Amino acid sequence: MVATLLGIFSAFSKEMAAQRERTFLMVKPDGVERGLVGEIITRLEKKGYKLVAMKFMKAPRSLLEKHYEEHKGRPFYDGLVTFIGSGPVVPMVWEGLDVVETSRKLIGATNPRASDPGTIRGDYGIDVGRNIIHGSDKVETAKREIALWFKEEEQTAWEPSLEKWIYE
Ligand code: IDP
Ligand code: MG
């Protein structure tokens, strides 16, 4: 009986784990310059998400052109790629249940003036070209962006001891 229950619980846990998708988040050069790296990481940690990869780097233009390829041809594309490459950024991979959609909510709308107070962009930004942080918009986009910025071995699988207090 106990064994059966444990089996069901273990299968359920595995299913929950399978739904714990990953997303690609990146503090942009304005966020780094304004000293918001710690604040942003704190918000994601306190929410309960799990950090699995992080770098501090100046991104080469070739990487940024691939990262922003969906925007190629838009009037802001060139300025965007130049700006993101102008200073250090903090690319990260975060994992958790529905993290792609939920982290976009924590980040707020693209235009910080339209972002709700309480969101990262809503609290710290004003201009659309200085909106502090990038977040993948879909699970498929996240997979593409993670692969672009991080090798498999740079992503660290681990089991935080607090998880049982975050997931039921
Ligand atoms: P997102 O970052 O909320 O996903 P996207 O539409 O994917 O927004 O745009 C990518 C980035 O391009 C934005 O975060 C912002 O920095 C910049 N951007 C978007 N629209 C404009 C614009 O109209 N003017 C200037 N920059 C823009
Ligand atoms: Mg986007």
pLDDT digit string, tens, across residues 110-160 = 999 999 999 999 999 999 999 999 999 999 999 999 999 999 999 999 999
**CB of 26 closer than 6 angstroms to any ligand 1 atom:** no
* Backbone angles phi and psi of 125, in degrees to 5: -125, 165
Mean pLDDT for the stretch of residues 33-59: 98
Residue 153 neighbours by CB distance under 10 Å: 7
**CB of 167 closer than 6 angstroms to any ligand 1 atom:** no
Q: Which of 168, 158, 52 is nearest to 99 (CA)?
A: 52
CA angle (77, 52, 13) in 5-degree steps: 120
Give residue for tokens 């699970």.
Answer: 139
pLDDT of amino acid 79: 98
Active-site annotation holder among 134, 135, 136, 146: 134
Does the active-site annotation cover 71? Answer: no
**CB of 70 closer than 6 angstroms to any ligand 1 atom:** no
Q: pLDDT for 58-104, tens place per residue?
A: 999 999 999 999 999 999 999 999 999 999 999 999 999 999 999 99
Rounded Cα–Cα distance for residues 103 and 120 (Å) = 10
